[in-house]
């Protein structure tokens, strides 16, 4: 209520108002940003789309953006909506992120690649130093769709980023707001990105369209929700870490699944990723969990990887061996930071009962 009352007091109900500026400064302070800036947009998707628009403006003759097929619809959609085409890439089986060898192969095979889009799987933080090295090595723009990774960032590295980083604050994320998101980018891109998310206006005072843009503005009400949750971020992280650590410890003895700890890391997420060591009949397991246990388990991101969606099937792809392998073995359990010990124990019992043989 505190922030909603501030809106009424200022009587500014639209975009780029007092709460927007306060929220932007608080996010930059939280991440210790000095070299880079934050642009707040209406969603994680419009954040991605703005980065693609900017790259298209700078490289209008380029045709493709590399993207993992193991991702969300927003990724190829943002590429297509900005005038590029996706090339679907495979993942590394160890961390479910873009595979290095395929990046090298694609850059040699296709001469019209404008950017590489990395995607964090379910809040898993991709190392910023690694992404900076990829950008420097190949001299190509990097868009890092960090999605639900805000609470997992290594804050010491974010300000050294030379890439475009986007996050989502959708209600399903660990730091929820409404439909809102951010772009973390070098200061030299601030004006251009703000213009893109505001119909291509040159600036707020001179509403002349200078470039292609769209409505990606962040409202004062979104700012109120985001700041209210930002006030509680340390408590949110504490609760999530406690519950996820408890589940991981309880499931360590189950050798038939991997659970939310790739490469030995524990990260915060409201999606509890289960990777079975065998192919799972999802129709049967979904029905069983729903009918017997009243738990709606689901496939991460989408029922299929992007290259298997009819709409995306016509676009170029490389070998997707690992993507196809992991698709048949992964699903997610719903999760809440307010789960009690008995809720967590029930989840452990059901997982072991169904995936311990």
| Residues 152/126, Cβ–Cβ less than 8 Å | no
3-state secondary structure of 263: helix
User: What is the side-by-side strand order in the sheet with 257-259?
Assistant: 257-259, 271-276, 330-334
Rounded to whole angstroms, the Cα distance separating 260 from 269 reads 9
Rounded to whole angstroms, the Cα distance separating 112 from 60 reads 10
Cβ neighbors of 301 (< 8 A, separation 6 or more) are: 70, 71, 72, 73
- Estimate the crossing angle of helix 341-354 against helix 233-251, to 10 degrees: 40
**Residue pLDDT, tens place only, 34-89:** 999 999 999 999 999 999 999 999 999 999 999 999 999 999 999 999 999 999 99
Rounded to whole angstroms, the Cα distance separating 124 from 47 reads 19
pTM above 0.85, yes or no: yes
Rounded to whole angstroms, the Cα distance separating 121 from 148 reads 9
Domains by residue range for the chain, with CATH: 2-230 (3.40.640.10), 233-354 (3.90.1150.10)
Rounded to whole angstroms, the Cα distance separating 355 from 237 reads 28
**Residue pLDDT, tens place only, 170-226:** 999 999 998 899 999 999 999 999 999 999 987 767 778 888 999 999 999 999 999
Angle, CA 34 vertex, CA 30 and CA 36 arms, to 5°: 90
- Ramachandran region of residue 317, left (φ > 0), alpha (ψ -120 to 50) or beta? beta
Question: What's residue 234's pLDDT?
Answer: 95
| pLDDT confidence tier of residue 264, bands split at 50, 70 and 90 | low
Residue 274 host element (H or E): strand 271-276
What six digits make up the tokens of 120?
């964090």
- Sign of the C-alpha dihedral computed for residues 103, 52, 121 and 148 taken in this order: positive
């Amino acid at each position: 209520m505190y922030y909603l009352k501030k809106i009424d007091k200022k009587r500014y109900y639209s975009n780029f108002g007092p709460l927007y500026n306060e929220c932007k400064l608080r996010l930059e302070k939280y991440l210790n940003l000095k070299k880079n800036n934050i642009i707040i947009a209406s969603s994680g998707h419009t954040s991605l789309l703005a980065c693609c628009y900017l790259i298209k403006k700078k490289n209008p003759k380029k045709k493709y953006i590399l993207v993992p097929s193991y991702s969300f619809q927003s990724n190829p959609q943002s590429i297509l909506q900005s005038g590029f085409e996706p090339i679907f890439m495979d993942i590394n089986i160890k961390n479910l992120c873009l595979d290095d060898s395929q990046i090298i192969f694609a850059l040699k095979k296709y001469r019209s690649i404008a950017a590489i889009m990395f995607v964090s799987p379910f809040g898993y933080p991709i190392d910023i130093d690694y992404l900076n090295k990829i950008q420097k090595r190949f001299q190509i723009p990097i868009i890092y769709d960090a999605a639900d990774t805000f609470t997992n960032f290594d804050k010491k590295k974010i300000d050294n980023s030379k890439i475009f980083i986007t996050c989502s604050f959708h209600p399903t994320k660990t730091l929820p707001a409404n439909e809102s998101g951010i772009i973390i980018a070098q200061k030299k891109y601030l004006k251009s990105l703000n213009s893109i998310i505001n119909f291509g206006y040159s600036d707020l005072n001179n509403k002349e369209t200078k470039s292609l843009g769209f409505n990606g503005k962040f409202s004062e009400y979104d700012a109120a929700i985001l700041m209210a949750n930002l006030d509680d971020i340390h408590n949110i992280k504490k609760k999530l870490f406690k519950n996820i650590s408890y589940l991981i410890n309880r499931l360590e003895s189950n050798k038939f699944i991997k659970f939310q700890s790739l490469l030995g890391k524990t990260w915060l997420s409201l999606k509890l990723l289960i990777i079975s060591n065998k192919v799972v009949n999802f129709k049967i397991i979904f029905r069983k969990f729903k009918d017997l246990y009243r738990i709606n388990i689901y496939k991460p991101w989408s029922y299929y990887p992007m290259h298997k969606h009819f709409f995306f099937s016509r676009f170029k792809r490389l070998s997707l061996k690992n993507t196809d392998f992991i698709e048949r073995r992964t699903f997610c359990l719903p999760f809440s930071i307010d789960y009690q010990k008995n809720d967590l124990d029930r989840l452990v019992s059901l997982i072991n009962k169904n995936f311990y043989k």
